[in-house]
Structure formats: structure tokens, C-alpha cells
Amino acid sequence: MRYRMVLGKNIHKYRMKKGLSQEKLAEYCGLHRTYIGAVERGERNISIDNIEKIANALEVDVTQLFHNERGH
């Protein structure tokens, strides 16, 4: 699985665990809601700065967003 997809799935997973909408996560990150949606779907090539913003908003380590549970 491509890491862009792994990243998106993990952002979605952690967002749901925190009970946040895409809009609320975007607000916490200073990003746009449609950008968050595109990242979660693996459609955007996201910068490391924005990955860090999202990880901070989700209160997870950046490395957790790249963990591939399937081991691929």
C-alpha cells in the first residue's frame, strides 16, 4: 500500500477516535476542510509541515500516522 494511502487511513482513524469532524480537525490545524478530506482519501501529496500540524492536532506522534498495520 502506498504511504499516501496509509497516511490518509491513519489520519481518518485517529480523527474518528477523537470524535472530530474533518471541519473541526481542519480548524485545529489551520487547514481547509476539503484539504483534510483529500489527504484522508490519499489524493494530496502533503508536506511534512502539514503532517506535523495534523499529528499535533490529533495528539499523536508523526510516526504513528505512517504505521502500516498490514506490514506492507
Per CATH, is 3-61 categorized as 3.30.750.200?
no
- Give the span between the Cα atoms of 65 and 48, in whole angstroms: 12
Q: Give pLDDT, residue 72.
A: 47
Among candidate residues 34, 30, 14, 10, the one with its CA nearest the CA of residue 22 = 34
- What are the residue boundaries of the structural domains of the chain, listed by start? 3-61
**Packing angle, helices 33-40 and 48-58, rounded to 10:** 100
pLDDT digits (tens, 9 = 90+) for 10-59: 999 999 999 999 999 999 999 999 999 999 999 999 999 999 999 999 99
Q: Give pLDDT, residue 20.
A: 98
pLDDT at 71 over 60: no
pLDDT at 6 over 80: yes
